Amino acid sequence: MSQENVEVVRAMWAAYARGDFEASLEAYTEDTVWDDTRYRPDGAVHLGRDALVDLVRSWRGAWENYEVEAEQLLDAGDDRVVVLLRETGRGKRGGVELTNRWGQVTTVRDGKIAHTLVYRVPEEALKAVGLSE
């Protein structure tokens, strides 16, 4: 089941990266939880698909151009997948350039993403599941 979970998450990020937001959203459970309290200073816990859509609209709306790539996906056991990501973009306000690497621990339930915990630094996501010291 673990490789299947990795593939669920890989397919979601591939859909998101190519701009197929409907397909990426379908990868999530209706009651999904997206927790970015460890990532953003103003982070929050977003409950459900509608909250996830609002979050993505807000985030994507701030960028003139934006790209994200899932660089590495690792089976972390217990239905968890660690995703190490790289994002780049240019902000609409002031043209601020963004190059960032971050991580997340995603939990898959019944073939859908049920919980995502986002970390500011990839190593924090690895450490959270015992794949790094």
What tens digit of pLDDT does each residue of 6-55 get?
999 999 999 999 999 999 999 999 999 999 999 888 889 999 999 999 99
**Position 51, amino acid:** A
Find, among 82, 87, 92, 94, the residue nearest to 124 by Cα.
Answer: 82
Chain centroid to Cα 101, Å, comes to: 12
What tens digit of pLDDT does each residue of 91-131 get?
998 889 999 999 999 999 999 999 999 999 999 999 999 99
Indicate the fold that domain 2-128 takes in CATH.
Nuclear Transport Factor 2; Chain: A, (3.10.450)
Distances (CA, A) of 92 to 58, 64, 66, 95: 12, 5, 10, 6
Confidence (pTM): 0.92
